[in-house]
Structures are given as structure tokens and as C-alpha cells.
Structure 1
Amino acid sequence: MRWIGTANRGYSPYAIEELRRLLDGGTFSQLAAGETFLFEAASDKQDVRELIAAKPPIFLRHVQPVEQELEIKGDESDLSGLAAIVYDNKERLAGKNVSVHVRKGPVSNFVYTPAETKDALRPSFEALDSELVLQQPELIFAVYAAADKLYAGIGTPDEMLSDWPGGAIRFQREEGQISRAKFKLLEAEKTFGLDLSAYRSALDIGAAPGGWTSLLLERGLQVTAIDPAELHESLKGHPKLAYLKRNASEVKFGSNAFDLLVCDMSWSPMQMVKLVLELQQSLMPQATAIITIKLMHRKPLQTIREVIAKLEACFKVERAKQLFHNREEITLFLIKK
């Protein structure tokens, strides 16, 4: 069984290394350098899905099964070939809400845009009484256009790890939005299955300019934001915001003051871990922490192992994931012991 895996740009070697360990081998080849790759596993499709679900990789952003492939001709026969694949899978697709995801590699002989491909396939899905949807599909019909081949596969959003093409989740930028860092916390909320509005009181370490603080305030939380730099002018005077213009290492709080801690600082990983551990006594038992770990060194897997080993003294690590909106970093979802 073959698959297409996708990671953030520059991180596919680490996703491949994780899959080698998880699947006990396999063969891998690059489709888009540093980002997208083709791999073949000795295990069958269901076993691969179960292994990935049981131990989600950190760097693997998206995975697509390759169930059928076509040689690219560079003309309308490519579209008719994809329509034939839809028909071949009529029993799986009939009557379902389906998203069509089309991605193209950096060099491809496939001449059609994703929008043109979807329009061409629409009659085939309508003939099956399937509805093409953009959000919350039951199934995804995924196509990857490599240099000279089309790779097609079908799966649920959970099986592909995302309901966005290639796992490239997009949020609409809002008028007056303080920073794009807000997207990281929005994605963490979605990826980790959290509801930020369910928390009462949050501590935001290294808050400036206030992207994460703004989202927490929108969710109705009482927020204590700490940073020696200035918060955005739009946040000042908010009735649920306490702003401490200081270094977090200089601040102490009483026990059980917060049920949520967030931290998105451009510090070295070990300095950040030290700070979080010093402040963990201010968290309630079972409090949640969402923190980013900057991968500033050449050995990110080793850095992650060392960070997690230290944090496990006080936290249970629920998930470690490089989100689409992460760059040279990953995000951790922790629960205080």
C-alpha cells in the first residue's frame, strides 16, 4: 500500500524518520523537496491508519492513500480518467458529502487548476447523488498531481489527519487582528479538540503583542498577560485583562490561580521549560498548558525528547504536533499532574 505524506516545508525528513520507526521500515521518495513524499508500507491500509492514530507523528501533517494512479497525458483524458476513478468507487461515494482536494507538485504535466478539476468532476459526483462540500465532509476524494502521474485516494478527514488539502488549514484574517500568531492558537484548539471558552482563568507568558491574549479574551476568559514589551493598544483597558509589564521570571502567583497556561515565546527551549516549571505551582490540578517549542538547533527530535522529559516531572504530555501555522517550532498540549 502506498501513501503520500506531507509535512511543513523543510520538515519532511523528520516526518519520514517518524514513519520509519512507527511502521518498522518502508520505502520513501520525495515528490516536493522537504515537504511532500511518497511512501510504501509493508502493512495493509487499516494497520497503517491504526498505527498513526495510536501514536500520532509530530511532523506528519497530512496523509493520503494512493489507491489508483494515472499517467498524465496533459489533456482532457486526465479529467476523464479521474471521472472513471470516481465511478469505480461509486459504492463508497454514493450519497455522501464529499470534498475534492486537488494538489499539484512543484513540477507537473497536469494542466488543470484545482478549481477546473473540481468543476469537471462535479457531474460524476452528482450522478452518484453525492454532494460536493467545502467543510465537514464525510469523505475526501484526494488527488495529487506529481510530475507525470496522478495519485488518487479516498478517506475520511480523520484518516487523512485533516479536512484541508494537504493539511494546510486556513483561517480568515480579521480586521484589526493583532498578529498571525492567533492562528496558531486557533489551530491548536481545533487539532487538540479543545474548547477555549470552557476555561475560566488563563496565564499568557510572553504575551506581547497579544495575539493569543486577544483570542482568550474573545472566548470570555479572565487573562493575566506577562511581557516586558507592550501589548497592542486595542487590548489596554479590557475589563478581563491583567497586564504585568515584567519578565515572567520575576512574577509569582498563589496556588491554583489558573486553569490554563499558554506560552508562545521566542526563547530557547530549555529556558522556556524552566520558566513553565517555575510557574506550574500557580496552575490548578488538571489544568491545561499549550506551549510552543522553538526548534533552534539541528537536532529537533533530540530537542523535543529532552523538553518532554523535563516537562513530564509536572505535566502529562497529551500531544506534540507541528501545526500548519507553526514554523520553526512545534506545539505541546499538556495536562498538569
Structure 2
Amino acid sequence: MPSADHSVFIGTANHGYGQQAQEEIRRLFGSETKFSFMVPTEIFMFSVPVSRAEAVASLLEREPMFLRHMQPVDVELEWNGSIDTLQDAILAGFRLAAGTKLAVQVRKTEQVQSGLSAGVCKQAIDSVLTEACHIAPVVKDAELILSVFLTPQTAYAGLSRPEDNLSDWPGGAIRFRREEGQVSRAKFKLLEAEQAFGLDFTQYRSAVDIGAAPGGWTSLLLERGVKVTAIDPAKLDAGLLKHPKLTYYPKNAGDVRLQPDAFDLLVCDMSWNPRQMAKLVKGLLHALQQGGTAIVTVKLMHKKPFQTVRELLEDLAPALTLQKAKQLFHNRDELTLFLIKA
């Protein structure tokens, strides 16, 4: 259990990338860091040889690319699936002031009895907090998050600020509602990037979307009021073509002549070899203003993510400098990078 010089967390990565998340944590805290998988390749417990405050500060300052979400473990309870036992443990383990804006998040492994859903457990915890602590749990704008993770034998719970969890969504699994007429699910990646990188696309004037088809990213930027130049030899969604703020070049990006300093935003979401993509992007950077933003996805084709990112940044240097790299919930075998033109 946690102590003044030892802290325990549950970490979540995209499926298949738990080992990469663990390697980043190990690099931060050294060889004394301990790991154990709770869901293979995805969810794991980790203990680090520093206090919780120190651990959180280090992880926020040098946020790992592959650690999507973390929750502290303050209470560890032997558990047989009893709702009453879970409620009692929450009341005994945490002292909460009446009126606290608290969100309760419950997750469980598949091995937990099928009739006991995360939703049922959350309702039970919400109920006991309302009755015993005079707290009405909230869905958003919480001051604190009570995270509960259930396995068949053990319940793990922790209390933390939303920002200390890396994401205020359970497990970092951010959900967007699919809209009628939505061009593609790729739109969700850019929506999530906007949140993860603290951006506001309404503040940009003009963007170039490289490899735009069928137009998921273009559609979001147009919705934000940005003028978009979309480039792709493949067809753009017909519903976008008459938009007054769209310019569309049905060509390879290398064959399009763009004016210098024409854009303050460049985006690229292409299923290309990363180094080929970097070469293409670098050839178009004259069109991005100094201080302009670039959002690009990097395909992790050979499962060598650290080497892939290092080589890509070397290829893009010194023109682009990395602000943050993250494997988002809506990424698959890829990373999303936020860069600024020097």
C-alpha cells in the first residue's frame, strides 16, 4: 500500500501498448519500479519508490506517450463481489466533505461476475455517498474523482484531482457521439487531439490538410470556422465540396504549389511510412507560418515506437519542435504529435 516514500497506481494504455507505457514509467522512476498486468497488454498496476505527490508531479511534467490514464490506489480491499462490502469500504476508506463535486468512475475486468456491471457498482457507490456523506456525484466539472477498479478478488480505489489522472474519462476512454452525416470516425482523433493538447481550433485562420480524404479532419476544421485547403488524390466526401471555406486539390501533395506563410495550421493523418510522411510534410513547411501548429499522426508499423518517434523528429528538425506526443484513445497503432514551427 502507498506510504510516504512509495506510491501505487493503476495505469491504462491502448491495447497492445502496455509494455511501452511501462518502459516510459521505468525510465522516469528507475529499476525499483514494479509492474503487474491486470488486463494483458493494456491495464497494469505499478508501484514507484517515491511519494504519490512526487510521482504525479513527475508524470505530469514528463507525460508518457503511451500512458493514457492512471488512478491512485489508496484503498485495497479483499472483495467477493458484494455490493455492501464495496459500499462499506468506500465509506471507511475516504473522508469526503458534504457538497464536494465528486465524480465516481468504476471499471472492472471481464472476470468479474457478469451480472455485476460497472454501472451497477457505480450506482451503489453514488447512492451510499448521497445518503451517508450528502454528496451528489457529478458527471462533469468534478473537483475530485473517486476511481474504483474491480477484479474478482480485489477492489482498488483512489481519490484524485481529474488532471492528476491524465484524463477525466474512465480509463482515458474518451467518447464522442457519432453525428448524422459524419464523414468518418477519423474526426474523433482530431477532436481528442484538440482536448489532449489544449488547443482551440476556432483560433486558427487557415489550415492545410495533407492526405485529407475522405475529409474527417477537414470537416471538423470547417465546423470550427477555419479556411481549409484539402489535398489528396482520393475523393473528398461530396458533402464537403460546396463549402465556401474549402479549397480542394485532388492531387498528390508534392505536386501542389502552396504560397509561403499561407497557413497557421497544418494537419496530416496518412497511412504512410513515417519517414516518407516526414519528407512530404517537410517539403510543405514553407507554407506554414512561423509559430504555426502542426498536428500529425505517426503510424507505428514495426512496433518500434521510441525509435520511430526519434527518427521522425530528427527528420523534421529544426523546422518543427515537438510540444507533446500522445497515443490517444482513438489512435490505433499510431501516435499523434503536436508540433510548432520554429
* Same fold per superposition (TM over 0.5): yes
Question: Which residue in the other structure is 1:216 paired with?
Answer: 221
Question: Which residue in the other structure is 2:163 paired with?
Answer: 158
Give 1:110 deviation, angstroms.
8.3
Distance 1:67 1:148 in 2: 17
Is the contact made by 2:83 and 2:124 (CA closer than 8 Å) also made in structure 1? Answer: no
- The 3 A distance-change label for structure 1 pair 113 and 17 is same
5+ residue gaps, structure 1, are none
| 1:50 partnered with 2:57 | yes
SS of the residue corresponding to residue 47 of structure 1 reads helix
Query: Partner letter of residue 10 of structure 2?
Result: I
Distance 1:53 1:280 in 2: 30
Give the counterpart of 1:227 among 228, 232, 235: 232
| 1:207 partnered with 2:212 | yes
Give the counterpart of 2:25 among 19, 25, 49: 19
Is the contact made by 1:75 and 1:111 (CA closer than 8 Å) also made in structure 2? Answer: no
Give 1:87 deviation, angstroms.
4.7
Is the contact made by 1:73 and 1:110 (CA closer than 8 Å) also made in structure 2? Answer: no
Give 1:85 deviation, angstroms.
2.2
Give 1:184 deviation, angstroms.
0.2
- The 3 A distance-change label for structure 1 pair 307 and 286 is same
Give the counterpart of 2:100 among 77, 90, 96: 96
Query: Partner letter of residue 86 of structure 1?
Result: L
Question: Which residue in the other structure is 1:28 paired with?
Answer: 35
Question: Which residue in the other structure is 1:5 paired with?
Answer: 11
* 1:92-125 superposed Cα distances (whole Å, 9 cap, x missing partner): x532111111111132258521221122122332
* 1:136-190 superposed Cα distances (whole Å, 9 cap, x missing partner): 2111110111231111001111100111100000000000001000000000000
- The 3 A distance-change label for structure 1 pair 110 and 142 is farther
* 1:73-102 superposed Cα distances (whole Å, 9 cap, x missing partner): 223343333xx42354224x5321111111
- The 3 A distance-change label for structure 1 pair 305 and 147 is farther
Give the counterpart of 1:125 among 126, 129, 133: 129
Give the counterpart of 2:268 among 254, 263, 267: 263
Distance 1:274 1:64 in 2: 39
Is the contact made by 2:79 and 2:153 (CA closer than 8 Å) also made in structure 1? Answer: yes
Give the counterpart of 1:115 among 115, 119, 122: 119
| 1:186 partnered with 2:191 | yes
SS of the residue corresponding to residue 262 of structure 1 reads strand
Is the contact made by 1:74 and 1:111 (CA closer than 8 Å) also made in structure 2? Answer: no
| 1:62 partnered with 2:66 | no
Distance 1:65 1:111 in 2: 27
* 1:35-77 superposed Cα distances (whole Å, 9 cap, x missing partner): 0001111111001001001101000000010110111122334
Question: Which residue in the other structure is 1:333 paired with?
Answer: 338
Query: Partner letter of residue 179 of structure 2?
Result: E
List structure 1 segments (4+ residues) > 4 angstroms apart after TM superposition: none
Question: Which residue in the other structure is 2:251 paired with?
Answer: 246
Give the counterpart of 1:315 among 320, 325, 328: 320
Give the counterpart of 1:40 among 36, 47, 51: 47
Query: Partner letter of residue 98 of structure 1?
Result: L
Distance 1:63 1:85 in 2: 19
Distance 1:170 1:74 in 2: 28
Give 1:130 deviation, angstroms.
2.1
CA RMSD of aligned residues (A): 1.3
Using the size of structure 1 for normalisation, the TM-score is 0.96
* 1:181-211 superposed Cα distances (whole Å, 9 cap, x missing partner): 0000000000100000100000000000000
Is the contact made by 1:72 and 1:110 (CA closer than 8 Å) also made in structure 2? Answer: no
Distance 1:9 1:144 in 2: 17
Give 1:305 deviation, angstroms.
1.2
* 1:11-47 superposed Cα distances (whole Å, 9 cap, x missing partner): 0000000000011130101000010001111111001
**How many matched pairs?**
334
SS of the residue corresponding to residue 284 of structure 2 reads helix
Using the size of structure 2 for normalisation, the TM-score is 0.95
